[in-house]
Amino acid sequence: MDNNSRKPYQLVSREWKKEDTIIKVKNSIIGGNNLSIIAGPCAIENEDQIFTICEFLNKHNIKLLRGGAYKPRTSPYSFQGLKKEGLILMKKAADKFGMAVVTEVMETNLVDEVYQYADIFQVGTRNMQNYQLLRALSKTDKPVLLKRGMSSTIEEWLLAAEYILAGGNEKVILCERGIRTYEPATRNTLDISAVPLVKALSHLPVIVDPSQGTGIRELVAPMSYAAIAAGADGVMVEVHNNPKEALSDGPQSLYFDQFEAMLPVIGKLAEISGKRVDFDYSREVIS
Residues 19-78 touching ligand PEP, rule: CB under 6 A, are: 42, 68, 72
Q: Which of 34, 49, 152, 212 binds ligand PEP (CB under 6 A)?
A: 212
Determine which residue in the list 63, 157, 249, 262 makes contact with Mn ion, applying CB under 5 A: 249
Per-residue buried b or exposed e for 64-95, using 16+ beta carbons within 10 Å of the residue's own CB: bbbbbbbbeeeeeeeebbbeeebbbbbbebbe
Q: Report how far apart, in Å, the C-alpha atoms of 135 and of each of 11, 12, 168 are.
A: 15, 15, 9
CA-to-CA distance for 20 and 83, rounded, in angstroms? 34
Q: Shortest approach of ligand PEP to residue 175 CB, angstroms?
A: 7
Binding mask 167-206 for ligand PEP (x = CB under 6 A): ----------x-----------------------------
Torsion (CA) 235, 93, 125, 80 in degrees, nearest 10: 140
Q: What is the spatial distance between Cα 275 and Cα 34, in angstroms, rounded to a whole number?
A: 5
Q: Is 147 an interacting residue with respect to ligand PEP (CB under 6 A)?
A: yes
Write down the least CB distance from residue 268 to ligand PEP, Å: 26
CA distances from residue 236 to 59, 178, 185 in whole angstroms, order as listed: 18, 13, 21
**Choice between 69 and 269, CB closer to Mn ion:** 69
Question: Quick one: which of 115, 112, 134, 116 has its CA closest to 124?
Answer: 134
- The binder of Mn ion chosen from 42, 137, 179, 198 (CB under 5 A): 42
- Residue 40 CA, chain-centre distance (Å), reads 10
Q: Calculate Rg over the CA atoms of the chain.
A: 17
Q: Interface with Mn ion by CB under 5 A: which range of 40-48, 87-95, 168-176, 269-277? A: 40-48
Nearest residue (CB) to Mn ion, 21 versus 188: 188
Could you tell me how far CA 274 lies from the centroid of its own chain?
A: 22
Which residue has its beta carbon closest to ligand PEP?
Answer: 124
Residues 123-142 as x/- pattern, contact with ligand PEP by CB under 6 A? -xx-----------------
Count of residues of this chain found to bind ligand PEP when the rule CB under 6 A is applied: 9
Residue 250 interacts with, from ligand PEP, Mn ion, none (CB under 5-8 Å by kind): none
Closest CB to ligand PEP among residues 72, 250: 72
Minimum Å distance from CB 92 to ligand PEP?
A: 20
21 vs 211, beta carbon nearer ligand PEP = 211
Partner in contact with 86, chosen from Mn ion, ligand PEP, none, beta carbon below 5 to 8 Å by kind: none
| Ramachandran class of 209: left when φ > 0, alpha when ψ lies in -120 to 50, beta otherwise | beta
Tell me whether strands 23-25 and 28-30 are parallel, antiparallel or unpaired: antiparallel
- Residue 197, C-beta contacts closer than 8 angstroms, at least 6 positions apart: 1, 154
Q: Rule CB under 6 A: which of 87-126 touch ligand PEP? A: 124-125
For residue 18, give the amino acid letter: K
Give residues in contact with ligand PEP (CB under 6 A).
42, 68, 72, 124-125, 147, 177, 209, 212
Give residues in contact with Mn ion (CB under 5 A).
42, 249
